[in-house]
């Protein structure tokens, strides 16, 4: 069926964008959870754990996202676990996100001066209390800008799972292109939708980078 | 029944893997040279050029940093023929990756240029250094030292990001892997081999960047910039 690019095409793409947003959110929540655990273990855990996590981060950061997606999608189904594309997409993006966010957040925790730990220690706070009331609130403020900045990367990275057939915005664009044969219109619209999602995040990220001052936590 | 790994069929095609790896190096090498050239022009244009040029560069940077490389690639490869510009898959991949890297490196290089206070340049001139010496010793090397981690990180991301070019069947490693996978049906083994090659290339280049850094910054380092700046740069990097 050949049809031409019109409003219904834009609607189709916007529905694809919905899946992009859902996938991005899922990736951020799952990846963010593991990233937090990894960042804490990487900075505070026992030496062997630190080494293993550092190794994991180095390996993932040295592998293209597309290869991680392929390994998850094709590879694991052979091992006997069968993943529907949504799960394979979410899992591989989460692994990738974990490696990068854990590194960013580790930097934020390590940016807190040693004296803050010592002061908290002198106040007889336990290790957990030091983290909870002194270190993490400050690290959180530093991390806001970079974290929102990385959300942009997450949204853009979800486009890669189009290549295993998960129908998000980019895949929707490919499908629409096959129907209309108007690639210029289609991919320009796709790009515009990505821009509409990512630019506000980039803008917010730049703004949040200004927040450095630490107010008391209530 | 557990899956039995068998690397033999993939290993039999090792020359194809090696060729793919070489093509990835060539493709991303070309894109990196072009991308850094765009970055230098963009950064100088944005900091030193007239207001309208700075605005134009800013628009370019935001457009390319806020859309996925894959979509940029599709737009250039499938979209441009629609308005009369037909490109080979490799040419389209190089242009897309170069424009993408150009946007990121513009921002990174600009951060470096802006980190050099004007007073430093004046101090250099006052010491009787020639303009060329000031540019070299007071501007370029110290600026490069500040942005070196961010810049080399971005180059690594570019090398890895070139795998995206397999989507339009450009000749590079991931496309070679897809071809091997379709002849051997050994998906897991194929992509594990590909992953190992990418990891080896990345670590090799990190080592090379480190060596270049040692030579480039052999003079005594000034006080280290704060860690917060490093973190900020990490989040800015991306493919």
Is residue B238 over pLDDT 60? no
Dihedral sign, Cα of residue A185, residue A187, residue A190, residue A196? negative
* pLDDT 10s digits, A49-77: 999 999 999 999 999 999 999 998 877 77
Q: pLDDT at position A214, please?
A: 47
Report if residue B106 sits inside a domain.
yes
- Nearest Cα residue to A152 out of A187, A202, A105, A117: A202
* Residue matched to tokens 């990894």: A38
- A175 to chain B, closest Cα gap in Å: 13
* Residue in A67, A153, A187 closest to B78 by CB: A187
Is there a domain that residue B156 lies in? yes
Asked if the model's pLDDT at residue A208 lies above 80, the reply is: yes
Instruction: Confirm or reject contact between A145 and chain B (CB < 8 A).
Output: yes
The CA distance from B63 to B195, in Å, is: 30
Average pLDDT, chain A: 90
User: Does residue B7 lie in a domain region?
Assistant: no
Helix, coil or strand: residue A212: coil
In a domain, residue B213? The reply is yes
Containing structural domain, residue B107: 12-236
Give the minimum alpha-carbon distance from A42 to chain B in angstroms, rounded to a whole number.
Answer: 16
pLDDT digits (tens, 9 = 90+) for B8-43: 787 878 888 999 999 999 999 999 999 999 999 999
End-to-end alpha carbon distance in chain B: 40
Q: What is the pLDDT of residues B65-98, one digit of tens each?
A: 999 999 999 999 999 988 888 899 999 999 999 9
The yes-or-no verdict on residue B54 having pLDDT over 90 is yes
Interface probe with A: pick from B1, B74, B99, B161, most Cβ of A within 10 Å: B74
The 10 Å CB-count burial string (b at 16+, else e) for A50-86 is eeebeebbbebbbbbbbbbbbbbbbbbebeeeebeeb
How far is residue A15's CA from residue A20's CA, in Å, rounded to a whole number? Answer: 9
Compute the average pLDDT of residues A21-46.
95
* Residue B13 backbone phi and psi in degrees, to 5: -100, 20
What is the Cα–Cα distance from B153 to B239, expressed in whole angstroms? 11
Cβ <8 Å between B195 and A67: yes
Q: Rounded distance, CA B31 to CA B24, Å? A: 10
Place of tokens 């979509």: B71
With 90 as the cut, is the pLDDT of residue A117 above it?
A: yes
| A182 at B interface, C-beta within 8 A | yes
| B224 found inside a domain | yes
CA distance B26 to B29: 5
| Per-window interface: A 2-31 vs B, CB < 8 A | none
- Supply the DSSP string of B143-205, one letter for each residue: HHHHHHHHHHHHHHHHHHHGGGGGGGT-SSHHHHHHHHHHHH--HHHHHHHHHHHHHHHHHHH
How many angstroms away from the CA of B104 is the closest CA of chain A? Answer: 13
**8-state DSSP, B66:** S
Choose the mutation target among B71, B73, B78, B79 for the interface with A, i.e. most A CBs under 10 Å. Answer: B71
B6 within some domain? no
Residue with the larger pLDDT of the pair B214 and A85: B214
Share of chain B above pLDDT 90, in %: 70
CB atoms within 10 A of CB A90: 23
- Structural domains in chain A, CATH included, are 7-208 (1.10.3720.10)
**CA–CA gap between residue A72 and residue B188 (Å, rounded):** 9
Task: Check A159 against B70: CB less than 8 A apart.
Answer: yes
Mean pLDDT of all residues in B198-227: 85
The C-alpha of B72 sits at a distance from chain A's nearest C-alpha, in angstroms, of 8
| pLDDT of the residue at B235 | 52
The confidence score (pLDDT) of residue A216 equals 47
Does residue B3 fall inside a structural domain? Answer: no
Q: Exposure string (b/e) for A107-118, b if CB count within 10 Å is 16 or more?
A: bbbbbbeeeebe
Cβ–Cβ below 8 Å for B198 and A202 = no
CB of B198 within 8 A of CB of B160?
yes
Average pLDDT over residues B151-157: 96
Backbone φ, ψ for residue A133 (5° rounding)? -105, -20
Could you give the CA distance from residue B188 to residue B205 in angstroms, rounded to a whole number?
26
**A74 in reach of chain B (CB within 8 A):** yes
Confidence (pLDDT) at A122: 95
| Structural domain contains residue B4 | no
Q: What is the pLDDT of residue A217?
A: 47
**Residue B238 with chain A: CB contacts under 8 Å:** 152-153, 156
Q: Which residue has the higher pLDDT, B158 or A210?
A: B158
pLDDT, average across residues A84-88: 82
Task: List the one residue out of B128, B124, B146 whose CA is nearest residue B137.
Answer: B124
Q: How many domains does chain B have?
A: 1
CATH number of B18's domain: 1.10.3720.10
Please list every residue in chain B whose beta carbon sits closer than 8 Å to the beta carbon of residue A70: 177, 187, 191
Report the gap between the CA of B190 and the closest CA in chain A (Å). Answer: 9
* Cβ(A76)–Cβ(A170) below 8 Å: no
Q: At what angle do helices B227-236 and A136-157 cross, to 10 degrees?
A: 20
Closest chain A residue to B191, measured at CA: A71
A213 at the B interface (CB within 8 A)? no
Of A52, A106, A65, A56, the residue nearest B162 (C-alpha): A65
Using a CB-CB cut-off of 8 Å, the residues of chain B touching A74 are: 181, 187-188, 191
Query: CA A85 to CA A74: how far, in whole Å?
Result: 10
CB A134 within 8 A of CB A204: no
CA dist A87 and A69 (Å) reads 11
Q: Give me the pLDDT at residue B239, please.
A: 46
Cβ pairs bridging A and B (under 8 Å): 160
Substitution target in B69, B166, B235, B239 with the highest count of A β-carbons within 10 Å is: B235
Q: What is the pLDDT of residues B178-189, one digit of tens each?
A: 888 888 888 888
**Euclidean distance between CA atoms B88 and B110, whole angstroms:** 32
Q: Which stretch of A174-178, A203-207, A209-213 has the lowest confidence by average pLDDT?
A: A209-213
Does residue B223 have a pLDDT over 90? Answer: no
Q: What are phi and psi of A95, to 5 degrees?
A: -60, -50
User: In this structure, are residues B39 and B187 in contact, taking their beta carbons and an 8 Å threshold?
Assistant: no
Nearest-CA distance B189 → chain A (Å): 8
Which residues on A lie below 8 Å from B72 (Cβ)? 191
CB-based contacts of B44, cutoff 8 Å, min separation 6:
B113
Extract the tokens encoding B63.
Answer: 């457009």
């Amino acid at each position: 069926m050949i049809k031409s690019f019109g409003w219904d095409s834009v609607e189709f793409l916007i529905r694809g964008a919905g899946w992009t947003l859902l996938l991005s959110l899922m990736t951020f929540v799952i990846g963010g959870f593991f990233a937090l655990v990894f960042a804490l273990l990487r900075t505070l855990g026992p030496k062997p754990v630190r080494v293993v996590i550092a190794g994991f981060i180095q390996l993932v950061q040295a592998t293209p996202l597309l290869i991680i997606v392929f390994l998850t999608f094709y590879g694991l189904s052979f091992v006997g676990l069968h993943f529907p594309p949504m799960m394979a997409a979410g899992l591989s993006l989460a692994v990738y996100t974990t490696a990068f966010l854990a590194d960013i957040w580790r930097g934020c925790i390590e940016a807190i001066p040693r004296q803050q730990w010592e002061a908290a220690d002198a106040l007889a706070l336990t290790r957990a209390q030091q983290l909870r009331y002194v270190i993490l609130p400050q690290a959180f403020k530093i991390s806001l800008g970079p974290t929102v900045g990385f959300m942009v990367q997450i949204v853009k990275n979800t486009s890669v799972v189009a290549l295993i057939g998960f129908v998000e915005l980019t895949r929707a664009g490919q499908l629409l292109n096959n129907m209309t044969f108007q690639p210029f219109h289609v991919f320009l619209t796709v790009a515009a939708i990505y821009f509409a999602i990512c630019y506000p995040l980039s803008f917010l990220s730049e703004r949040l980078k200004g927040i450095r001052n630490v107010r008391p936590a209530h | 029944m557990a899956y039995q790994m068998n690397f033999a069929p993939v290993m039999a095609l090792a020359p194809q893997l090696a060729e793919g790896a070489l093509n990835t190096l060539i493709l991303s090498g070309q894109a990196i040279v072009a991308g850094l050239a765009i970055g230098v022009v963009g950064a100088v244009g944005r900091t030193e050029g007239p207001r309208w040029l700075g605005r134009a560069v800013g628009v370019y940077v935001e457009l390319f940093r806020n859309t996925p490389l894959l979509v940029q690639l599709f737009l250039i490869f499938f979209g441009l023929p629609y308005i009369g510009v037909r490109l080979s898959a490799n040419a389209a991949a190089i242009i897309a990756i170069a424009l993408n890297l150009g946007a990121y490196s513009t921002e990174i290089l600009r951060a470096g240029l802006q980190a050099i206070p004007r007073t430093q340049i004046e101090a250099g001139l006052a010491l009787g250094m020639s303009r060329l010496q000031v540019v070299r010793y007071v501007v370029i090397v110290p600026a490069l030292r500040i942005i070196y981690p961010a810049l080399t990180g971005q180059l690594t991301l570019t090398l890895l990001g070139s795998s995206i070019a397999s989507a339009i069947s450009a000749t590079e490693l991931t496309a070679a892997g897809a071809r091997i996978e379709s002849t051997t049906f050994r998906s897991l083994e194929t992509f594990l081999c590909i992953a190992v090659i990418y990891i080896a290339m990345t670590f090799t280049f990190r080592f090379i960047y480190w060596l270049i850094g040692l030579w480039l910054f052999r003079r005594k380092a000034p006080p280290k910039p704060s860690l917060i700046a490093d973190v900020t740069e990490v989040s800015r990097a991306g493919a």
